[in-house]
Structure 1
Amino acid sequence: MALFSKSLCHFDITQKFIVPIDWLGSLLPSIEQNSEATISVVGQNGSEHAFVLRTRKIKDDQPYLKPVFQNRGWLQFVRADRLRVDETVYFWKERRGNEDIIRVQVRDRPNIHVLMGFAIEFK
């Protein structure tokens, strides 16, 4: 399981989180154009968040999905964690029982290691 990170820009903390396209199909599910999916995420203190992943309709002059986490859910997380421009946000998948969960951590790089294909966080 890989660690995904992104340095936050002004748009990320005031509007929507711009999701890197290579996160689709690996960290996040692949979704069709012009659709959305609710993504459950667990924060560093165990708090649960629901981010709405959305892609736009592909047009001839704009052939990219441009995935984002919509402002609802995401901006609540931004305010709760007092995120600022240029801080780094980290996402990874972690196995809990029979399911994969998505974890998120801000500022400090998580101390995770992969054991038999599963991410394990050391505190």
Structure 2
Amino acid sequence: MVRIVKVLTRTDVSQRLGVTTEMLNMLPPYNREHDVPVRVLDDTGMIYEFKLSVRAEGALKPIFQYQEWRAFVHRRNIRTGDVIYFWEQESVDHRTEYRIHPVRTYV
């Protein structure tokens, strides 16, 4: 199991999460015409449905869109400089599920 580590930027916290190439490679296939829902379970057992979005043309610039991502940030009181761990794992019914675990940094 590979865990991806990302230090959150001001934009990640205040607007949308910039999805790294490593994260994008483990997520379901993206679609340039439509957002792709990604079901993510956090370390408290809460389920979120982040919307994966890429640009229609040119560089992909993948993101998790504002609404559900910001709900996660708000619920967990996430701040700039905090770290998230993101990974995929197989569920008990043999489906891929995505997990996220935020870690507070004291900068």
User: Could you tell me whether the CA contact under 8 Å between 2:50 and 2:64 is conserved in 1?
Assistant: yes
Between the aligned partners of 2:11 and 2:25, the Cα distance in structure 1 is 24
Any gaps of 5 or more consecutive residues in structure 1?
109-123
Partner of 1:87: 82
Q: Mean alpha-carbon deviation: is it higher for 14-23 or for 4-13?
A: 14-23
The one-letter amino acid of 2:45's match is G
Q: Which has the higher contact order (CA 8 A, sep 6+)?
A: 2
Partner of 2:6: 6
**1:73 maps to 2:36:** no
User: Could you tell me whether the CA contact under 8 Å between 1:37 and 1:53 is conserved in 2?
Assistant: yes
The one-letter amino acid of 2:97's match is I
User: Could you tell me whether the CA contact under 8 Å between 1:35 and 1:56 is conserved in 2?
Assistant: no
Between the aligned partners of 2:67 and 2:47, the Cα distance in structure 1 is 14
Structure ranking higher in helix proportion: 2
Between the aligned partners of 2:10 and 2:22, the Cα distance in structure 1 is 21
Q: What TM-score do you get using the length of structure 2 for normalisation?
A: 0.89
How many aligned residue pairs are there?
103
User: Could you tell me whether the CA contact under 8 Å between 2:23 and 2:86 is conserved in 1?
Assistant: no
Partner of 1:113: none
Partner of 1:35: 34
Please identify the structure whose Cα radius of gyration is greater: 1
Task: Give deviations 1:7-47, integer Å, cap 9, x for gaps.
Answer: 00000111110101232232x12213243111111111111
Partner of 1:99: 95
The root-mean-square deviation of aligned C-alpha atoms, in Å, is 1.3
User: Aligned residues: percent identity?
Assistant: 26
SS of alignment partner, residue 32 of structure 1: coil
Task: Give deviations 1:40-98, integer Å, cap 9, x for gaps.
Answer: 1111111111101100112xxxx310000000100000000000001100111122121
Any gaps of 5 or more consecutive residues in structure 2?
none
